[in-house]
Amino acid sequence: MTQRIIIAGSGFAGLWAAMSAARAVYTLDKDPMASDIEIIMVSPEPKVCIRPRLYEAVLENMDPDIGPLLQEVGVKHLPGFIEAIDTYKKSITVLKHGEENVTLPYDRLVLATGSELFHPPVPGLAKYTFSVNTLSDARKLHEHLQALASQSRSQARDTIVVVGGGLTGLETATEMPTRLRHILGPEAEARVVIVDTADQIGIDMGIEPATLIAQALSDCGVEARAGVRVEEVDECGVRLSNGEHIKAHTVIWAAGMRASSLTAQIPGERDSLGRILGDEFLHAPGVKGVFVTGDTVKVPTDNQGNYNVMSCQHAMSLGRVAGHNAAAELLGLPLHPYSQPKYVTCLDLGPWGALYTEGWDRQVHYIRNEGKKIKQEINTVWIYPPEPDREAVFSVANPDFVVVP
């Protein structure tokens, strides 16, 4: 009797969960195509969105096709959106494109549906802001920026406000002065402002990184507004909690993420970001047969009290472990505990370069051009899907494999 593993999502965690599950099946059966275990990935398209790069000006190859890769390792793809998860009946409901809902039973479910941009109830936020959360969002922003050149010169036209001083906000903000001058011309008085509630932009990374970030912002021509929040967004700009109103036709929202809304359909304890608190094998402890991975789970990375963050660095390793364990339970193989003690951060800071740190205390190892070279390697090689070569894929799909500099 065929048993079924469903991989919900085709992001970094979903992709590597599928590869690792297929590897486990191949290890035992040697022929995924003829195995009694069926692996199905469910997502709108068989593509991986390279979300860490969506702040960039050029949006080519930001959603590579993984269809041939899935076929090579024996994973099927079902196009559609998961609307409901019934953990009691062990089934999911999928809305297929232009078709009626399909109910699909599972023996093991790997929830790898990622995270969503956080939208607090700020007046005007939904109507007047842009983001780089999805590829369609990034394309919409790109079209808007290009259209600014046809507007009459004004302070609002020439100003961009980026809300959120996290990694995405910083990478977006430091990219924008160059983009804006390229569109409007060198004579334009391009202005970029980054706004964050922290007392100092980038202070979450530590004092030394925050000092370097301040230097990079200054060098790139980005103004900082720290210790304030956005009270309102309108067609003319933003009003801050200190009473300041910044005139801007472009407001980019990058103020935090929340776990996929599908996590609410999985019984279990959650953190403030909506992530399910998983066990060491990435089970959702409140229900049988469900694994949580990537941005849908919070789990210790080591025995020092550190936990995974919402990043492709953690998502890829979490995916490998969840996919392996989902297959291992059905195959009678040993489960693999998740562990990822090495943590690095590589922050792109526009023309200034990049900031590379190691450890949870963010020790600075490389800055400027040296850091930029590492960032480019990460962005253009390490996070992209591998070529559809089964042997090569399986060699890096084991749950112990970790890609770090």
In the 8-state DSSP scheme, what is residue 352? G
Q: Please tell me the predicted confidence (pLDDT) of residue 58.
A: 97
CB atoms within 10 A of CB 268: 18
Neighbours of 186 (CB within 10 A): 7
Is residue 292 within 8 Å of residue 266, measured between CB atoms? yes
Angle at 195 between CA 189 and CA 196, to 5 degrees: 160
For the sheet containing 237-240, what is the strand order? 230-234, 237-240, 245-247
**DSSP string covering 355-404:** EEEETTTTEEEEEHHHHHHHHHHIIIIITSPPPS-HHHHHHT-STT----
Residue 401 confidence (pLDDT): 85
What domains appear along the chain, each with residue ranges and CATH number?
3-117+257-343 (3.50.50.60), 125-253 (3.50.50.60)
Spell out the per-residue pLDDT of the chain, length 405, in tens.
799 999 999 999 999 999 999 999 998 766 656 679 999 999 999 999 999 999 999 999 999 999 999 999 999 999 999 999 999 999 999 998 777 899 999 999 999 999 999 999 999 999 999 999 999 999 999 999 999 999 999 999 999 999 999 999 999 999 999 999 999 998 888 999 999 999 999 999 999 999 999 999 999 999 999 999 999 999 999 999 999 999 999 999 999 999 999 999 999 999 999 999 999 999 999 999 999 999 999 999 999 999 999 999 999 999 999 999 999 999 999 999 999 999 999 999 999 999 999 999 999 999 999 999 999 999 999 999 999 999 999 999 999 987 655
Total Cβ atoms within 10 A of residue 304: 8
- pLDDT score for 403: 67
Q: What is the DSSP letter of 150?
A: G
What pLDDT is attached to residue 32?
Answer: 57
Task: Look at residue 13 in the predicted model and tell me its pLDDT.
Answer: 98
Give the Cα separation of 137 and 65 in Å (integer): 19
List, in sequence order, the alpha helices (H) in 148-195.
167-184
161 CA to centre of own chain: 22
SS3 state of residue 186: coil
* Number of helical (H) and strand (E) elements in the chain, helices listed first: 9, 22
| Cα–Cα distance for residue pair 83/262, rounded to 1 Å | 8
